[in-house]
Amino acid sequence: MSEPADRDALIEAITREVLAALAAPPADACRDCEGSCAAHCPDKVRTVVAGGADRIAYHGNGADVPRDLARFIDHTLLRPDATAADIDRLCAEAREHAFAAVCINPTWVRRAAGILRGTRVAVASVIGFPFGASTSDVKAVETRRALRDGASEIDMVINIGALKSGMRDLVREDVARVSDACHEAGAINKVIIETALLTDEEKVIACRLAQLARADFVKTSTGYASGGATVYDVALMRETVGPRMGVKAAGGIRTAEDVREMIAAGATRIGASAGVRIVTGGSREASEHY
């Protein structure tokens, strides 16, 4: 059997196993804190972070969160009509609440990097956003430019049409080109598979191809399709990629309950426009940044 045929057979076998596993009862979540570990068990969370966790999401009162743990929450502004003043405000909020990163469109990366220089807040940018239909060459160039401008995290959109056409080699190469550009600069690549547009089988295939292409995370959504993150999709993605690869839930996550459910399903990062409301326990009104 040829290499592509071998790979396709492996992916199909994994798909069957993952879907069968999801039919089983889910593993118990942490029973000690019910999603509020950052406040109730900070030492335990610090141990998890020291062991390699990238993000910890939280659903309790933001005033109870130790500042060193609050920085594991992303802060997102990807609206096409976002202004320079909006970006400045986003960065100020990220500094005030010690978020892990701001996630913005490429045109604002240099500005945000300048504002956040000297802080622990990272700058993440999106590539091929929001449709994923750019060519691989363009995505690689766009990635390198964002990294030169100061980004250290890249969220790329998978080539959705190619995936649905069965063009698996093209999809894998598309992701690999961005992964290579990121890793050359010490950055990470998160692959948005846009779950709302895929069948369950296509979601599994997309995750597996991203894994084969050396991506660091798979991510549910851009926030611009017909739907965002769901608990089921996060569980499916986690089951597919295993425990070592990151899973980021994004799109429509606005409440504490949303965050709790995504983390319980296996998400290790949360992309949210309502980050301020989450970390302040709803004490401040948050604008919708998607």
Q: Indicate if 200 belongs to the active site.
A: no
Catalytic residue among 74, 139, 149, 155: 155
Q: Tell me which amino acid residue 59 is.
A: H
Catalytic residue among 149, 219, 233, 258: 219
Nearest to 76 by CA among 272, 287, 278, 276: 272
Catalytic residue among 74, 233, 248, 258: 248
Nearest to 271 by CA among 241, 250, 245: 250
First to last CA, the chain: 46
Q: Indicate if 28 belongs to the active site.
A: no
Residues with active-site annotation: 155, 219, 248
